[in-house]
A and B are shown apart, each in its own frame.
Chain A
């Protein structure tokens, strides 16, 4: 078994483990931390496929930004010692059945599908290439989605502020 394979399976194991923990842990802060690990694992995967930039973004935005946001909100909305109540058995049962059923179905399709692997040499995803593509307006340029995303982010930012802002007249 090649080193890379070993690394991959290790990472995968970590990711799945922490994902599971993240959705089952009864301490909410821990759940957030477990999520952090799962996201970091993802970043590692990106490194493995040579997408360094993406991996960096994943770490900064996801692991750095979102998880911190989540932790903040947890701190704002729950007591640190509070344990989440256990979901009812019925709920767990239904959900687990559904999730497992979906998983089995997906795996069934996966295993039965013949993937045609690409044979061409892999393209480099250097920062300069990414920058040119993102701001390019010729074929393959992503300037329009880029702008749209910018607007979305702006709108989300304003929206978040407006929603979260304490209502001046109310209190």
Chain B
């Protein structure tokens, strides 16, 4: 099989988007849904085939470009190509995206049944899959940026899917604007990089021997080398999309979208785009701009802890998962940040590995949450309890996912997290400490959720909860299997920073510490939440203001609101609008008024009295003659 087939992985969802979008009031729901799911199924098969070919049929993991056309030419050297770049990480991403997409598509067939905008939903979802796939196979920075924007917009459309709910609209808007702000940095970073290197091409940029790149390190601007600046800006884009602190505020709100969307976009795929971006540019970071990489590690570590702390106090099931996502992405960023290149590249591999496993268990968590919400029509975990009686299958898969994310062996999360912890351990003990602490917190908040929802007292529900339909259960089971077994993949053999196999060994010390932390977390959660208990309330009361700060997510949202509404809107926009109307426009009007005034004042000269004109005329003539006489003599 030739790799050019990969183009169909992109074309299929695009076709579905166009078809469903244009024929949204012609097609029946069943047809549209199966069209989308079927195409995604084919795409998934193609992606797995590609992966099989790439990883098992060829000995070395070269960068391959099976397809490329010129899309837009800027200058002789700078142009945007549209193409497909296959290398270990993009192939891996292809597999992840298509698989999770397929599962979510299937799940949505059940979850969204009977919704009015069913076809619109699948249309947008296909658009998202297309954009995300295009993003990971991008051959150059600009193509990546384009799909990056497309991903952002499909995320906007999907978050705002329930467009008559004001919260959903606001959340969609917020998500788009915050990421747009980050993209501004990204774009400037791209421009800066391309200005010095004269290319957008990944193959050229990431080539460690590229002289132009090395030259950029020599040019400094405000104490930093231009390259560091450019890469930091590019990372800013990644941080926005991956909801890193302080650009994370959109992600919790984004949970207003339908739950399968959260699973696909805001857990498994889109939010890891930032990680993917850093991984894509990793050689440049690693060789030429270690300062930028330090920033990545720092932001990653900070978000990791920050989000985990907030997650412990939230009560909305999806928001807990959202903060958990942020925290897990923090892990990935941290791993990239502490990674070296080549044989020191454990962090890189670990990051990708975690991305891979996380996609499975986090998608599963969201789908499980969706299954619960589907049954209960509410999001607040304090109003749930003892659901294991009503939804046994959901309960089991949810438990598997919780164990996976908590890092209990032999579930997938354990292996990837262990690699990250080892990488952090090798680099900086503080980072290791943060990561290990967060591992404990992760276990705590996940099991807090688990116990509150599935155990505890029976609540009164409006209509008795029921197990979800088969269409929703199948994807969950598939993902659960993935969450159990993906950890055993020898990931370093396939994905590494320099495409050479990397042997990762289980670091026993680290493993023990992390498992201990996880078990500690689970135990605390068990004590607090297994049965109705007053302990959590006591503790939250004891910590008082601190607790409230955490519940209010450290007031970051409020700060943003202050900046946008008070400063930008009230102190900049309105004055500008006022200034434009009352100063600039008034000046233009003033010139008109002044002309009018002058004409009104002098129109008295035109008195209509013939003889007045006569006087003036005669005196004028006399005056002119006088002047002529006297100037002549």
Contacts and interface: CB of A to CB of B under 8 A. Distances in A.
Interface residues of A, number: 9
B625 interface: yes
Interface string A74-92: 0000000000000000010
B618 interface: yes
A46 B301 CA distance: 118
B588 interface: no
A145 interface: no
A101 B621 CA distance: 11
A105 B629 CA distance: 10
A98 B612 CA distance: 12
Contact of A105 (B611, B615, B626): B626
Interface of chain A, helix or strand or loop or mixed?
Answer: helix
Contacts of A98: 615, 618-619, 622
A95 B622 CA distance: 13
B618 A102 contact: yes
A109 interface: yes
A101 B622 contact: yes
Interface of chain B, helix or strand or loop or mixed?
Answer: helix
B467 to A, nearest CB: 97
A109 B625 CA distance: 10
A109 B615 contact: no
A26 B611 CA distance: 19
B615 to A, nearest CB: 7
Interface in A91-112: 91, 94-95, 98-99, 101-102, 105, 109
Interface string A44-62: 0000000000000000000
B629 A102 contact: no
Contacts of B621: 102
Contacts of A109: 625, 629
B625 A105 contact: yes
Nearest to A87: B611
A98 B620 CA distance: 10
A79 B481 CA distance: 124
Contacts of B622: 98, 101-102, 105
Nearest to A97: B619
Contacts of B625: 105, 109
A40 to B, nearest CB: 27
B620 to A, nearest CB: 11
A99 B618 CA distance: 8
A102 B626 CA distance: 10
B609 to A, nearest CB: 11
Contacts of A105: 622, 625-626, 629
A73 to B, nearest CB: 17
A117 B618 CA distance: 30
B625 to A, nearest CB: 6
A109 to B, nearest CB: 7
Contacts of B629: 105, 109
A91 B609 CA distance: 13
Nearest to A109: B629
Contacts of A95: 615
Nearest to A102: B622
Interface string B599-633: 00000000000010001001101100110010000
Interface in B565-623: 611, 615, 618-619, 621-622
A101 B618 CA distance: 10
B615 A94 contact: yes
Contacts of B626: 105
A18 to B, nearest CB: 22
Nearest to B629: A109
B448 to A, nearest CB: 100
A75 B619 CA distance: 34
Contacts of B615: 94-95, 98
A94 B618 CA distance: 11
B610 to A, nearest CB: 13
A94 B626 CA distance: 18
Contacts of A99: 618
A73 B626 CA distance: 39
Contacts of B618: 98-99, 102
Contacts of B611: 91
Contacts of A91: 611
Interface in B45-98: none
A122 to B, nearest CB: 31
Nearest to A108: B629
Nearest to A94: B615
Nearest to B625: A105
Interface string A105-134: 100010000000000000000000000000
Nearest to B633: A112
A102 B629 CA distance: 13
Nearest to A106: B625
Nearest to B619: A98
Contacts of A102: 618, 621-622
B335 to A, nearest CB: 101
Contacts of A94: 615
A93 to B, nearest CB: 12
Interface string B317-334: 000000000000000000
B428 to A, nearest CB: 103
A58 B629 CA distance: 35
B524 to A, nearest CB: 108
Nearest to A95: B615
Contacts of A101: 622
A41 B615 CA distance: 28
A161 B619 CA distance: 36
A102 B617 CA distance: 12
Contacts of B619: 98
Nearest to B628: A109
Given A95-B615, A98-B619, A99-B618, 11 more contacts: A91-B611, A98-B615, A98-B622, A101-B622, A102-B618, A102-B621, A102-B622, A105-B622, A105-B625, A109-B625, A109-B629
7 contacts: A98-B618, A98-B622, A102-B621, A102-B622, A105-B625, A105-B629, A109-B629
What are the nearest 4 A-B pairs in CB distance?
Answer: A98-B618, A102-B622, A101-B622, A105-B625
Interface of B: 611, 615, 618-619, 621-622, 625-626, 629
